[in-house]
């Protein structure tokens, strides 16, 4: 108890630090220092609309994915990678706001723009329940919520993920992927054009499993928006 009070007092009086590099901030209203902001690895060139990698991506890793479209504003590197980690473990709302602002500002106009009411909604990729319990914070949901506030698109947390990841230990990768696909399910009505939201697009296997669940529940077109995209493996 006493140590918690001390920790809170230290946090109160310590100068606010950059969420990416931890140097003290001159302007405590900004979660990220000017150097990290300048060094953010924006994906500025032409991107493959299917997989989000710099074009040309052939062979496209998303050619057979259940999502039609994937996009991220940042490469998963440098300060962008540090911000993803900070969001995962720190859970600052100011950080989710900043990251969603960067996503909304750079997104192609037809991805997060106006749609006929009731057709599109932001759907957070569900975290593994054990992870959410452990951290008490779901970064995909925080990003989706901040993005909904910013774009006016509705938030629809219609997917959930079962547990039992420990049973996957020792299984082959394809068996794990099949299990992952089954483990994500729609738990409520699904919009016709869902936009999946997550922090990082790595292999695309989780986005594919989530998109499959949305299609099984009746979605006709699925897009995926993440803060960062890893380079091709
Ligand atoms: Zn910094
Ligand atoms: Zn591609």
pLDDT tens digits, 33-79: 999 999 999 999 999 999 999 999 989 999 999 999 999 999 999 99
**d(CA 48, ligand 2 centre) in Å:** 5
Identify which ligand lies nearest to the alpha carbon of 47.
2
DSSP helix/strand/coil, 42? strand
**d(CA 69, ligand 2 centre) in Å:** 9
Beta bridge partners, 159, equal 186
pTM of the model: 0.86
**d(CA 59, ligand 2 centre) in Å:** 7
**d(CA 8, ligand 1 centre) in Å:** 23
**d(CA 49, ligand 2 centre) in Å:** 7
Q: Looking at domain 45-229, does it have CATH number 3.40.50?
A: yes
Distance CA 233, CA 225 (A): 19
**d(CA 98, ligand 2 centre) in Å:** 27
**d(CA 91, ligand 1 centre) in Å:** 17
Residue 132 φ/ψ, nearest 5 degrees = -60, -40
Q: What is the DSSP string of 70-105?
A: EE-SEESSHHHHHHHHHHHHT--HHHHHHHHHHHHH
Distance CA 73, CA 63 (A): 21
**Among the residues of 152-194, which ranges form H helices?**
173-183
> Which part of the chain is CATH 3.40.50?
45-229
**Per the structure block, which two tokens stand in for 16?**
């606010």
Distance CA 145, CA 111 (A): 16
**Per the structure block, which two tokens stand in for 27?**
């302007």
Tell me which residues have their CB within 5 A of the ion that is ligand 1: 18, 20-21, 33, 36
**d(CA 78, ligand 1 centre) in Å:** 10
Predicted confidence (pLDDT) per residue in 196-218, tens digit: 999 999 999 999 999 999 999 99
Does position 130 have pLDDT exceeding 90, yes or no? no
**d(CA 101, ligand 1 centre) in Å:** 18
**d(CA 35, ligand 1 centre) in Å:** 6
Confidence of residue 173 (pLDDT cuts 50, 70, 90): low
């Amino acid at each position: 108890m006493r140590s918690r009070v001390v920790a809170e007092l230290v946090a109160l009086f310590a100068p606010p630090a950059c969420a990416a590099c931890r140097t003290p901030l001159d302007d405590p209203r900004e979660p990220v220092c000017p150097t990290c902001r300048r060094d953010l690895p924006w994906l500025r060139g032409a991107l493959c609309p299917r997989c989000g990698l710099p074009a040309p991506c052939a062979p496209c890793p998303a050619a057979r994915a259940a999502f039609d479209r994937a996009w991220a504003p940042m490469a998963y590197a440098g300060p962008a990678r540090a911000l993803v980690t900070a969001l995962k473990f720190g859970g600052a709302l100011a950080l989710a706001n900043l990251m969603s602002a960067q996503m909304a500002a750079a997104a192609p106009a037809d991805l997060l723009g106006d749609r006929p009411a009731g057709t599109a909604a932001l759907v957070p990729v569900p975290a593994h329940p054990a992870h959410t319990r452990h951290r008490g914070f779901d970064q995909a949901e925080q990003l989706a919520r901040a993005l909904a506030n910013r774009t006016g698109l509705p938030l629809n947390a219609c997917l959930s993920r079962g547990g039992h990841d420990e049973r996957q230990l020792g299984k082959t990768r394809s068996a794990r992927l099949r299990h992952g696909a089954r483990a994500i399910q729609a738990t409520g009505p699904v919009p016709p054009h869902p936009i999946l939201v997550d922090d990082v697009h790595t292999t695309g296997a989780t986005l594919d499993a989530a998109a499959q669940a949305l299609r099984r529940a009746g979605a006709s077109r699925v897009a995926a928006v993440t803060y960062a995209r890893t380079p091709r493996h």
